[in-house]
């Protein structure tokens, strides 16, 4: 595909409907709809886990065509309680999506997810293929043991100074198992301890998002409202292998392989290396695969954003999406 930005982001829009949906005795989810109320439903799944949605995420979709559904997953964004990891599993998130779909009266929708959002999109699709029209997936993360190990320790090969600061967030004698060391602090009851750990964790990721690190992105990831969700929930899901058997998403891809899909991956994605996207494409050869040669992980890398908008535009042309 062309590297020229022939598919720019759509203009900023506001939601036409928002709400808070209680899903159990602990969690209440923020949800919103924007675009065309009578348009093609599309579900946007944010990353992290714990990152939450942002207004810019609406801009991947033509608002004249799409009925854009977004929500903040358990413990993320405007959902409450922020950073809550109890009663928070992949299976519960899948059930939440179905509650939202039923509440909105959506029969089928296009599913769009990046990073952890790609994990959840695949897990949701494999659980409920009959309600999915297709998939747009970016920065593939399958939450395997190898990927978790890479995130915690492997990124030091490209960002040694960033990883050193991350490791220095815990005592030297605990650095042999950084995940457990951070879990110990992130899940404690002392706000001073868990907030510092969350900022350290989130800064580590934010510093590696773009091919050329962006100060604004790092600052956003360091903020209390973002870092608590990212730090706690990423550690929670990594510690528990996303509550799935290892490589379950690849092993079950046959359940959705009949559906159209587009995979967009940055060549220099250090957070979710391209090998996972390549493995997914090998298991799902009918899915279009776009490896963006001048991009890291972030959805807002110009080449990645261009490819994502191109994908939403291409889905508009398919008869089943009209």
Which residue, 241, 274, 291, sits at the end of a domain? 241
Question: Do residue 257 and residue 132 come from a single domain?
Answer: yes
Question: Do residue 160 and residue 289 come from a single domain?
Answer: no
Domain CATH code at residue 129: 3.40.50.1820
User: Does residue 1 lie within any of the structural domains?
Assistant: no
Question: Do residue 234 and residue 264 come from a single domain?
Answer: no
Please report the pLDDT score of residue 317 as a whole number: 85
Catalytic residue chosen out of the listed positions 46, 57, 163, 297: 297
Please report the pLDDT score of residue 86 as a whole number: 97
Question: Do residue 134 and residue 155 come from a single domain?
Answer: no
Neighbour tally for 173: CB within 10 Å: 7
| Residue 177 is a catalytic residue | no
Answer whether residue 320 shows pLDDT above 50.
no
Q: Rounded mean pLDDT of 1-29?
A: 88
Domain count, the chain: 2
Please report the pLDDT score of residue 322 as a whole number: 37
Which residue, 188, 217, 241, sits at the end of a domain? 241
Give dist(CA 46, CA 62) in Å, integer.
18
Please report the pLDDT score of residue 307 as a whole number: 97
For the chain, the three-class secondary structure string (H helix, E strand, C coil) is: CCCCCCCCCCCCCCCCEEEEEECCCCCEEEEEEEECCCCEEEEEECCCCCCCCCHHHHHHCCCCCEEEEEECCCCCCCCECCCCCCCCCHHHHHHHHHHHHHHHCCCCEEEEEECHHHHHHHHHHHHCHHHEEEEEEECCCCCCHHHHHHHHHHHHHCCHHHHHHHHCCCCHHHHHHHHHHHHHHHCCCCHHHHHHHHHHHHHHHHCCCCCCCCHHHHHHHHCHHHHHHHHHHHHHHHHCHHHCCCCHHHHCHHHCCCCCEEEEEECCCCCCCHHHHHHHHHHCCCCEEEEECCCCCCCCCHHHHHHHHHHHHHHHHCHHHC
User: Does residue 6 lie within any of the structural domains?
Assistant: no
Half-sphere exposure of 101 (CA within 13 A, CB side): 21
| Residue 57 is a catalytic residue | no
- Per-residue confidence at 5, pLDDT binned at 50, 70, 90? low
Answer whether residue 259 shows pLDDT above 50.
yes
Question: Do residue 90 and residue 227 come from a single domain?
Answer: no
Which residue, 241, 260, 283, sits at the end of a domain? 241
pLDDT digits (tens, 9 = 90+) for 212-222: 999 999 999 99
Question: Do residue 51 and residue 127 come from a single domain?
Answer: yes
User: Does residue 2 lie within any of the structural domains?
Assistant: no
Give dist(CA 168, CA 170) in Å, integer.
5
Give dist(CA 115, CA 298) in Å, integer.
9
User: Does residue 73 lie within any of the structural domains?
Assistant: yes
pLDDT digits (tens, 9 = 90+) for 141-196: 999 999 999 999 999 999 999 999 999 999 999 999 999 999 999 999 999 999 99
115: nearest Cα among 13, 12, 233: 233
Please report the pLDDT score of residue 54 as a whole number: 96
Percentage of residues in the chain having pLDDT higher than 70: 97
| Residue 115 is a catalytic residue | yes
Tell me the two tokens of residue 56: 């810019």
Question: Do residue 33 and residue 123 come from a single domain?
Answer: yes
User: Does residue 9 lie within any of the structural domains?
Assistant: no
> Could you give the C-alpha distances from 116 to 3, 74, 102, 191, 298, in angstroms and in order?
25, 13, 23, 26, 12
Please report the pLDDT score of residue 97 as a whole number: 98
Question: Do residue 41 and residue 130 come from a single domain?
Answer: yes
Question: Do residue 137 and residue 273 come from a single domain?
Answer: yes
User: Does residue 3 lie within any of the structural domains?
Assistant: no
Question: Do residue 135 and residue 65 come from a single domain?
Answer: yes
Domain that residue 155 falls in: 145-241
Give dist(CA 141, CA 151) in Å, integer.
11
Answer whether residue 131 shows pLDDT above 90.
yes
Catalytic residue chosen out of the listed positions 34, 79, 115, 118: 115
CA dihedral 216, 209, 140, 39 (to 10 degrees): 20
pLDDT digits (tens, 9 = 90+) for 52-71: 999 999 999 999 999 999 99
Question: Do residue 294 and residue 314 come from a single domain?
Answer: yes
Tell me the two tokens of residue 69: 């559904």
Question: Do residue 298 and residue 194 come from a single domain?
Answer: no
User: Does residue 5 lie within any of the structural domains?
Assistant: no
User: Does residue 95 lie within any of the structural domains?
Assistant: yes
Average pLDDT of the residues of the chain:
96
Angle formed by the axes of helices 178-186 and 191-206, nearest 10° = 130
Contact 253, 283 (CB under 8 A): yes
């Amino acid at each position: 595909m062309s590297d020229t930005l022939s598919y720019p982001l759509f203009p900023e829009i506001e939601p036409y409907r928002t709400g808070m949906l209680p899903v159990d005795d602990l969690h209440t989810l923020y949800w919103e709809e924007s675009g065309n109320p009578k348009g093609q439903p599309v579900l946007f799944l944010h990353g992290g886990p714990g990152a939450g949605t942002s207004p810019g995420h609406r801009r991947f979709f033509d608002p004249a065509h799409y009925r854009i559904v977004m929500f903040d997953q358990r413990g993320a964004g405007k959902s409450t309680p922020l950073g809550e990891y109890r009663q928070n599993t992949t299976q519960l998130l899948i059930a939440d999506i179905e509650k939202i779909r039923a509440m909105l009266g959506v029969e089928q929708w296009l599913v769009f997810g990046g990073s952890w959002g790609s994990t959840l999109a695949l897990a949701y699709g494999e659980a409920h293929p009959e309600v999915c029209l297709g998939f747009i997936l970016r920065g593939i993360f399958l939450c395997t043991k190898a990927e978790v190990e890479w995130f915690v320790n492997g990124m030091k090969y490209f960002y040694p100074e960033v990883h050193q600061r991350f490791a220095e967030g815990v005592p030297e004698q605990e650095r042999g198992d950084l995940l457990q060391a951070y879990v110990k602090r992130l899940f404690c009851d002392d706000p001073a301890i868990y907030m510092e750990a969350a900022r350290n964790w989130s800064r580590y990721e934010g510093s590696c998002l773009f091919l050329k690190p962006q100060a604004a992105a790092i600052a956003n990831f360091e903020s209390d409202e973002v870092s608590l969700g990212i730090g706690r929930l990423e550690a929670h899901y990594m510690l528990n292998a996303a509550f799935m058997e290892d490589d379950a998403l690849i092993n079950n891809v046959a359940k959705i392989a009949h559906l159209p899909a587009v995979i967009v991956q940055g060549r220099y994605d250090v957070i979710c290396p391209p090998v996972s996207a390549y493995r997914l494409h090998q298991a799902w050869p009918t899915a279009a695969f776009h490896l963006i040669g001048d991009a890291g992980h972030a959805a807002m890398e110009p080449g990645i954003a261009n490819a994502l908008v191109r994908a939403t535009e291409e889905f508009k042309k398919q008869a089943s999406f009209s």
